[in-house]
Structure formats: C-alpha cells, structure tokens
Amino acid sequence: MNLKISLAQLNLLVGDIAGNSRQIMDAAIFARDQQGAHAIVFPELTLTGYPPEDLLLRSELLERVEQALDEIAREVYGVDIILGYPRCQDGKLFNAAGVIRDGEIIAEYFKALLPNYSVFDEKRYFESGTEPCVVELNGVPVGLTICEDIWYKDPAAHAAAAGAKLLLNLNASPFHTGKAVEREELIRKRSQEIGLPIAYVNLVGGQDELVFDGGSFVVGAAGELTQRAPFHQEAQTLVEFQAGTPVTGEIAPYPDEVAGIYNTLVLGVRDYVIKNGFKGAVLGLSGGIDSALTLAIAADALGSENVEVVMMPSRYTSDMSNEDAIQQAETLGVEHRTIAIEPAFNAFLDMLQEEFAGTERDVTEENIQARCRGIILMAISNKKGKILLTTGNKSEMSVGYATLYGDMAGGFAPIKDVPKMLAYRLSEYCNREREIIPRRVIERPPSAELAPDQKDSDSLPPYEVLDEILSRYIEHEQSTREIIDAGYDAETVRRVARMVDRNEYKRRQAPPGVKITRRAFGRDRRYPLTSGFN
Amino acid sequence: MNLKISLAQLNLLVGDIAGNSRQIMDAAIFARDQQGAHAIVFPELTLTGYPPEDLLLRSELLERVEQALDEIAREVYGVDIILGYPRCQDGKLFNAAGVIRDGEIIAEYFKALLPNYSVFDEKRYFESGTEPCVVELNGVPVGLTICEDIWYKDPAAHAAAAGAKLLLNLNASPFHTGKAVEREELIRKRSQEIGLPIAYVNLVGGQDELVFDGGSFVVGAAGELTQRAPFHQEAQTLVEFQAGTPVTGEIAPYPDEVAGIYNTLVLGVRDYVIKNGFKGAVLGLSGGIDSALTLAIAADALGSENVEVVMMPSRYTSDMSNEDAIQQAETLGVEHRTIAIEPAFNAFLDMLQEEFAGTERDVTEENIQARCRGIILMAISNKKGKILLTTGNKSEMSVGYATLYGDMAGGFAPIKDVPKMLAYRLSEYCNREREIIPRRVIERPPSAELAPDQKDSDSLPPYEVLDEILSRYIEHEQSTREIIDAGYDAETVRRVARMVDRNEYKRRQAPPGVKITRRAFGRDRRYPLTSGFN
C-alpha cells in the first residue's frame, strides 16, 4: 500500500496554544492540498511547544489544549493529523500523541518513557503510558512513539508486536554537539532491531536555553537512511512509503561541527530575542574575542541594523581594543558609540572613600568598573527596548571570572556554554568568507583590562588546559582524582575544581544562554549553593 | 519490651560528608552514654544533607559516603545507628536508610515513594525501593520508612504486614506555613490506620531556599501525640517505648503562625550566611518597611555587631526616610553610614546624554538610581567579605516591581517569599517587646522613592488586593477566570497576571531566599521565560 506522510518540522512557541494551533492547521492543509499527503506528523507536545514546564500545572493551559484539539478536528478534514499534546485522564496527566481524522481523535498514544535527567523534568508532570498504539494510515498499520520511547527497545517492540509496519516518532530533541549523529545511529539500530522503518520528526527553534535543531529523518527497515530534512530551519518534508518501504528522498547534509554549533547559537539568539518581543539587541564591545564573537552571532541572528554596540573604555583599556572594536562594528555596519566610564567610576571611588579608608585596592575596584558598564548597557536596553546580550563564555562562567551585575548583566548570554577554545574556532568560522572579526582580536592574549597590564593568564591556567579540565569536571563529571590520573597537574586541577564549586552563586544569577555541550549550566546542572563538598 | 530511641534532629551541611559523619558519631555516643538509648535515628540522607541535588551524580560523593559508613561502623559500638544515605546497587541509586550495629550494616531500606514535585527532584537521582524493612531493636520489630513514604498508605502497611510493631520515619521536610500541623495530622491518621506508633525525625536548618524546621515527634498507635521536639533548633530527644507504647514526654509547643515564619526567616538567613562563610551582612536601609524588616531579621540571625547598613538617599528621598532609617540602625546598634548617590547618578545621566538625546525620561532613570545603590552595596560586600542582603518582598518579585542589578542585587533575599501584607504582620511581631522598627515606617504609604512623590499605589493595586490575587494565581495556580469569579475586578486580575507572567526573566536572575509559602519562586516554580501563554 502506498502511504505519503508529511513530516512537519515546525518552530513553535511554548504556551501559545492558539498560535501553534494555527501553524498546525496551515501545515495540515498544505500537506493535504500541496503535498498530496495522507497524513501529517508533528513534533512532541506540538500544541504547547516544548518544554512547557510548570505551565503544565495550570488548568487554563489544559483547557486551551482541549479547545484547540476540537478546533483542529472541526476545521481540517481529508488528512490524518498526528500531533502531540498533554492529556488529562482519570486525574493523571500524559504526554500524548493523537490522531485526528475527519472531525475526531481516532487514536491516542501515551508516552511510556519519561526523561527526568539533564534538562528534562517529565516525571514532574506526566505519568507513563503502558499501551502501544497502532493506527491504520491509508491502510498501513503505523505505531506511534514519542521521543525517549525510541531510545530504549520496549516501546518500539511493543508497537511491532501490536502489528505496526512502520513507526512514527514525535520528538523535541535539543541540540548538543554530536547529538544529531547520536540520534541517527540509535534510530538506525532500533529499526534494524525491530525490522521496521522509522520516521523521526523533530522540533526546530530556540526555547530559552534549548535549541531544537530539526534534521528530521527517515530510516528503512534495515536501518538505512532514506531521507533527511535540513537542520536549523523549518521544513515540511514529504516521505512516501511504497509497500511499507520508504522511498529514498533528499538527504540534507549534516553541518560540520563548528558550523552546526554556530547555527545553533544564531537560532537560539534569534528566537529568544524575537519570541520575547525585543526591538533588537545592544552589547558592550571590548575589543576582546568574546564580545566580537557575540556581535557576529547577533548580527547574523537579528540583522546588523537591529544591533547596537557600545565601547566603554576605562583608564586600563588599550588603544588596540578601541580600534579593533570600531573596526568590527564598521565592517558589520552596526551602530556604535563610545562612552568612557571614568566619570562614573571616579564618582563611585569618591563616594566610597570614607567607607574604604585604610583598605587596599583589590578586585572590588575592578568590579566597580564592570558594573559601571553594566549600568550603561542596561540603561540603553531599558530606554530603547533592546535586549542586552551578555558576552561571557563558558570557561569564565565556570571559574567565576566574571562580575555579577557587571559583564554578567543582560537578558541573554549567547556564548555562555561556549568554552574559550571553541570561541576561537567559532571566530575563525565567522571569518571564513571575509574578516568580520579583526585578526588582532583573535591573536592577542585575552585580558579583562580591569587593572594595569592585566592578562587572563595572570589568574587562570592557559585556556588549552583549563578547558580540558573543565570539560572533564563539568561535562563528564570526573572526579579531581580521575582528572589528575589522566595527567593534569594536581594543584591546577584542585584549584580549578574549587573555583567551579565556589562560583555556583554567580551562575545562579546569570542570564540564560544557548546549551551546546553535553552539560550546560542552568536547568542542566543543579548544584546546591550552600555546600561542604570540595 | 522496653526500647529507648534517641531522635537526632540535627543541622547538617549538604555535601560535607566528613562533617556530617562527625556529627552523627558524636550524637550516637551521646545517645548511648548520656541518654542510655538502645538506638538513635537521624533525618533523611543524613550523610549528604538534604537536598544534595546534582552532587548525587558525582562518584566522589558516593565514595565518601561509603568511607563514612565504614568509619561510623568501626568507631561506634553499643548503640544501633539508623541513618540515611544514597546507596548504589546494581547500577541504580537508592535513597536508603541503614541500621549500623556493632561494626556492620545489619539492615537497609530503600525509599519507595520519591517526591518529584514542588522543590523535589528525587526521580532525577533515585530508583524506588520495593521491599519493606523490619529490624529488631532491643527485641522490638521496627519498620523503616523515609519521608514521602509515610504520606501514602502502602509503605507503612507493607512494614506492618512484615511484622513491624513500630515505625520510624526519617525526614527532610521543609517549612511552609501550616506544614507542621499538616505533617502531624497526617502521621496521626496513618498511625490510627495501621495501628502502630510512629516516630518522625526531621532535619533542622537552612539549605539555600529551604528551611527544615525540626519539630520531630512521636505518636502512639491510636494517633495520639506523645512527644514533640522543639522547632527551629537542634535537639536530641529520647523516646521510650514500653510494651510497644510510647511513654508520654515533653511536647514542645507550636510557634504561632507569624512567630513560626519569623523564626524560619532568621534560621534561613543565619545558615545561608554562616554555612557559606561570610563575615557578616550589609544591606541598604531605605526607611521603608521591607529593608527595616530585613534588618531586624539579619540582626536576630547574625547579631547586630555583624550587620552593617547603608542609607543611600537621592534627590527623591524624603527626610522622614533618612530619619527613620537612622533611628532603627541606632535602636539595634548596627553600624550605619550615609552615602548619597547623586554624584554617580549625575555622572551616568551626563554620560548617557548623547545616547538618550530626544528621548523622554522614563523608568530607565529610576533604574539607574537603583543600580547606583547596587554598585555601592556590592562594593562594600566585595571589599569586606560581607554578604549583601536583598530587601525585596514577594509581592514586588511577583509583579516585577524591582530593578535587576539594582535593589535586586545581593547574595540572599530573606523576605523574597514574604508577601507585603505579611511583611506588616512580621514587622509588628518584631516590635512585640520594644519598637525595633519605627512606627512611622510601618504606617506611611509604601514608596520606592525613585521619582517625585512616587507611591507604590501609583503603579500597583492596593497590597490588600494584590496579595490576595497573587496568592490565588501563584500559590494556588488558579486561572484568571477563577479569580475573577471569586469577586476580584477583572481588569486588575488580568493586569496582575500579565505582570507576573512577564517578569519571569527578573526572577530567574534573583538571589535565593527563604521559602515560607506553599509555592515560592525558584526551584519550586519552573516557568519558561519565553512563553506565549497569557
């Protein structure tokens, strides 16, 4: 039997049931009328967007979901609509996938495996389903599964045992480096194992710290990849099954590693800024690599005309920094302005003179400078309705080499999960066609320029070493003992671990940013502030 | 058979396995030698403290737990030690209670019911146990249960079916208003239901946003309360069972509602500051009720000699505010200083003149003032190693009536979960013996004093109304429709709900504070920042 299914890789808005519902109906009508599809499949929790978090505890949300399901059923005939939504039954909430056909929900599946690790909290909201669901689409028995279900054998095997000849998997699978390959390898293995083709539909778009990267795909019963939608953009891909076998279609390429990360950052920034209704973005451009990279991402995400930068030199800022910052702003054609922080910095030093009598100069004065910059930037953000983008990288956030309410101020932190060494690789990527980021910015030794002749390497191990230790300690949760045994200097490892542990309080007040690694700060890593663990 | 058990209501430090272990051994030796106890029972997850959060994912933590168990077993003979710890078995982690007797663990129970709602994430870490555990203590068969287990019937019934004549319940039950009564009523009902006495041991002390309030207690088989340890302090209470029946002992009183909340705030502040190693606290005293209450709490928590306040008047600050602030500081004998913010405020206005050319004065200029104060306070905090206490209340935090990096700056926010009307009741409580908080501070209309003649009531509904709406919307998750149907003005309700929804981004960057209500901000309420729900 011939079966055509449209895979709707959409960018949805969490909580916007009415808007998501309109997108669903438009896509369904397109699938029916333009693609000649028998059915259309959407990502996990289509109606609410993913993850809806504690909105799931609000009765209004569930009421609106019911209304939207009624409306979709009433409005769209002639194509089977397979979509995700929360479903309350006997006082329990399920993460459901339903099939709407000609005015009614003809079948419903409840997700069996609920992820409750990393960024996921599904057991906070949902109960596990226990039954497979197989439904005939144009005569082909199709088994429904949702995201995590496909990562383990049972749900797929149960659907196969219940007669499915093809599996659909509705997903909201967020990006991290290497994840797309991991997904495909796993689903190919699963399809070989059960001997059935699998169509995997992913969400696309940014939601707070997560970016869903799309790349929906289809594998045949022998695990062969037959079709793949593009990454990082919406797509509505028609897949055709002939006699139960997927016809080979277009296979969009994987972006290479650095390009995939860059595109993720751009999409994450764009969606955060636009979905939250900002008029554009402002950021402080220091002449250093982190703000240079952040500017490049912001310009790609929002358009140069929607980005404004401010240079805020102090007595410690080198001419080189000012020159390089202006050069990049002009290359990109973004609005730029210089506001020296000396008047405010001096005012604070005067105001605090009595309070600080008899004390030594220390990091306090460095923080005051960073915070003067924070005030300037937040004032522009407040006055103009532009979001302030924070420019700190993951290495700094890890060890606390950043000032709360100073350079940490802002609404979104694009490269918060980008380790310093990766920031260099991303900067080279930005310059692949022309020199967006001035060469000197990439090549000079990193400095916060908050004290005379200051360099990051005065207080931190070289980033080559630091990033390796951080990756082991944070992303792979190795113990200091394991890291030392892997050949790193014992004192350095212990010092770095101590810095990470002690700076949890700063990270707790940091703006959100895009997760790109296996373990980001934020919902992904939940450490106590008060802790005697060291 | 006679059985004497010591209930060890301890204040532990999360992650400090060695320190907690020492406390356990000291308490066990005291129970054996001074109390003549046969056994001692500790709170849930005694060795790690509660909640250890993602420290549970670190292999080092689990290794240290094993070492500590070995050490306790080796060091303390002659008394049965019943304590909590994470236990890894067959690659699964359990929330365990073990019985150590004369050198070995003779029995182990795995928690069956794992809370994964509100502030709890236990399914992120643990698997559910399935077996009851009954162990003879001085000849009496005793069933072990852990916290959530006792809130439902099954685990207690299983222990009873397995022959238990008495149940022990190891807890880490955090405070919220009314919780102590709720706990006792429930456990009394449970003991009646299964016809067995229950000894309930709670943790005490602050851990980030949670305060465990102690109040351990014992009920007889008919549900009668026979003994209760004090609230908000450590205690080691001996309970005696004769022929399976608890002998009536001392029953520490419930504090009344406002006193219970006040004591919770004081304990939460004290433990956060001390456990995190600060040398004291600093805060901005405005002449308003929130900072006045925060100061009273801080002085009770840390001692007046460890608290410093700063008055930071602007052109909009009334003389009354300055006078009242100084009066309270002098009444309490805390160090105080006045630093006018005009020089820095003026410097920023000048620096931004060009950038802001042609724009109207708006909330931006108010925020600059608040942020100048933030810089002053953080500078003092940095220079002196004193934690900055943030003075905002829950009503403000809810509707976003606060400035990020301004009055929201700080390491800990004592009254973050205290609605404004409750702040008045707490202030009256502070004045129960003498006038700590000047009368005029309590009686004048609330104002942020960031613009001429500004009053909170210019932008917000009266707090009597606002707090009711907020409690329904946030704590009870009522829909706007339900709140309007309860008799509140429709436009006001919708406006308040909108303000709450829109200000999630501010709360995400707020410092932690003590949870005292059914639903606090923080781990307790996980809302998306990007959301189309309204």
Residue B451's pLDDT is 87
- Hey, of B12, B47, B309, B375, which one would you mutate to test binding to chain A, going by the most A CBs within 10 A of its CB? B375
Taking CB atoms and an 8 Å limit, are A53 and B208 in contact across chains? no
pLDDT of A94 higher than 70: yes
Average pLDDT score over chain B: 97
CA distance B239 to chain A (A): 31
Q: Kindly report, residue by residue over A133-158, the tens digit of the pLDDT.
A: 999 999 999 999 999 999 999 999 99
- B340 contacts in chain A (CB < 8 Å): 351
- CB-based burial label for A492 (10 Å; 0-12, 13-18, 19+): middle
- Which tokens belong to B326? 């100084």
Residue B371's pLDDT is 98
CB B226 within 8 A of CB B530: no
Backbone angles phi, psi at A218, to 5 degrees: -130, 135
In B, minimum Cα distance to A339 occurs at B351
Total residues found in chain B within this entry: 534
Taking CB atoms and an 8 Å limit, are B367 and A348 in contact across chains? no
- A423 vs A472: CA distance, rounded Å: 18
Q: Kindly report, residue by residue over A17-71, the tens digit of the pLDDT.
A: 999 999 999 999 999 999 999 999 999 999 999 999 999 999 999 999 999 999 9
Residues of chain B predicted below pLDDT 50: none
CA distance B354 to chain A (A): 9
The single residue of A133, A147, A372, A430 carrying the catalytic annotation is A147
- Is A133 a catalytic site residue? no
Nearby residues of B246 by Cβ (< 8 Å), 6 or more positions away: B197, B199, B218, B219, B220, B226, B227, B239, B240
- Hey, of A530, A531, A534, which one would you mutate to test binding to chain B, going by the most B CBs within 10 A of its CB? A530
The single residue of A4, A108, A111, A396 carrying the catalytic annotation is A111
Taking CB atoms and an 8 Å limit, are A276 and B529 in contact across chains? yes
The single residue of B4, B111, B386, B420 carrying the catalytic annotation is B111
- A352 contacts in chain B (CB < 8 Å): 339, 376, 379-380
Residue in A17, A275, A352 nearest the CB of B379: A352
Taking CB atoms and an 8 Å limit, are B533 and A14 in contact across chains? yes
Taking CB atoms and an 8 Å limit, are B376 and A508 in contact across chains? no
CA distance B330 to chain A (A): 18
Closest CA to B425 of B253, B259, B210: B259
- Is A464 a catalytic site residue? no
CA distance B249 to chain A (A): 35
The residue whose two tokens read 């002098």 is: B330
Residue in A117, A379, A405 nearest the CB of B409: A405
What ipTM describes this predicted complex? 0.96
Taking CB atoms and an 8 Å limit, are A364 and B350 in contact across chains? no
Residue A1's pLDDT is 66
Q: Kindly report, residue by residue over A367-381, the tens digit of the pLDDT.
A: 999 999 999 999 999
- A362 contacts in chain B (CB < 8 Å): 382-383
- Is A44 a catalytic site residue? yes
- Hey, of A58, A271, A501, A531, which one would you mutate to test binding to chain B, going by the most B CBs within 10 A of its CB? A531
- B493 vs B499: CA distance, rounded Å: 10
Closest CA to A137 of A182, A167, A104, A178: A167
Residue in B13, B356, B510 nearest the CB of A532: B13
Specify the DSSP element, H or E, that contains A20.
Answer: helix A17-33
Residue B454's pLDDT is 87
- A257 vs A255: CA distance, rounded Å: 6
Residue in A52, A343, A409 nearest the CB of B405: A409
The single residue of A4, A44, A184, A366 carrying the catalytic annotation is A44
Q: Which residues of A296-335 are buried (b: 16+ CB within 10 A; e: fewer)?
A: bbbbbbbebebbbbbbbbbebbeeebbebbbbbbebbebe
Residue A534's pLDDT is 83
CB A388 within 8 A of CB A377: yes
Q: Are strands A235-242 and B92-101 parallel, antiparallel or unpaired?
A: unpaired
- A511 contacts in chain B (CB < 8 Å): 508-509
- Which tokens belong to B335? 């160090």
Q: Kindly report, residue by residue over B382-428, the tens digit of the pLDDT.
A: 999 999 999 999 999 999 999 999 999 999 999 999 999 999 999 99
Would residue B7 be called left, alpha or beta, if left means φ above 0 and alpha means ψ between -120 and 50 degrees?
A: beta
pTM of the model: 0.97
CA distance B11 to chain A (A): 13
- Which tokens belong to B310? 């700063």
- Hey, of A14, A390, A533, which one would you mutate to test binding to chain B, going by the most B CBs within 10 A of its CB? A533
Mean of pLDDT values over A249-261? 96
The single residue of B147, B148, B165, B420 carrying the catalytic annotation is B147
Q: Which residues of B59-91 are buried (b: 16+ CB within 10 A; e: fewer)?
A: ebbbebbeebbebbbeebeebbbbbbbbbeeee
Residue B438's pLDDT is 96
Q: Kindly report, residue by residue over B417-472, the tens digit of the pLDDT.
A: 999 999 999 999 999 999 999 999 999 999 888 888 888 888 899 999 999 999 99
Specify the DSSP element, H or E, that contains A204.
Answer: strand A204-207
Residue A457's pLDDT is 87
Specify the DSSP element, H or E, that contains A381.
Answer: helix A363-384
CA distance B262 to chain A (A): 21
Q: How many CB pairs under 8 A join A and B?
A: 251
Residue in B17, B354, B367 nearest the CB of A382: B367
CA distance A165 to chain B (A): 34
- A310 contacts in chain B (CB < 8 Å): 355
Q: Which residues of B184-209 are buried (b: 16+ CB within 10 A; e: fewer)?
A: beebbebbeebebbbbbbbbbbbbbb
In B, minimum Cα distance to A372 occurs at B375
CATH numbers and ranges of domains, chain A = 2-253 (3.60.110.10), 259-455 (3.40.50.620)
Residue A175's pLDDT is 98
- A340 contacts in chain B (CB < 8 Å): 351
- B32 vs A140: CA distance, rounded Å: 72
Residue B1's pLDDT is 66
- Give all strands (DSSP E) within B186-311, no chain letters: 198-201, 204-207, 210-213, 217-219, 225-228, 235-242, 245-246, 281-284, 307-311
Taking CB atoms and an 8 Å limit, are A409 and B404 in contact across chains? yes
Residue B108's pLDDT is 98
Taking CB atoms and an 8 Å limit, are B347 and A344 in contact across chains? yes
- Confidence tier at A85 by pLDDT (50, 70, 90): very high
CA distance B364 to chain A (A): 5
Q: Other CB atoms closer than 10 Å to residue A464's CB: what's the count?
A: 9
- Confidence tier at A451 by pLDDT (50, 70, 90): confident
Residue in B63, B374, B525 nearest the CB of A405: B374
CA distance A1 to chain B (A): 41
- B121 contacts in chain A (CB < 8 Å): 116, 121, 124, 526
Helix A342-351 / helix B363-384 crossing angle, nearest 10 deg: 50
Residue in A409, A508, A527 nearest the CB of B512: A508
Taking CB atoms and an 8 Å limit, are B530 and A14 in contact across chains? yes
Taking CB atoms and an 8 Å limit, are B481 and A60 in contact across chains? yes
- Hey, of B119, B529, B534, which one would you mutate to test binding to chain A, going by the most A CBs within 10 A of its CB? B529
- B367 contacts in chain A (CB < 8 Å): 378-379, 382
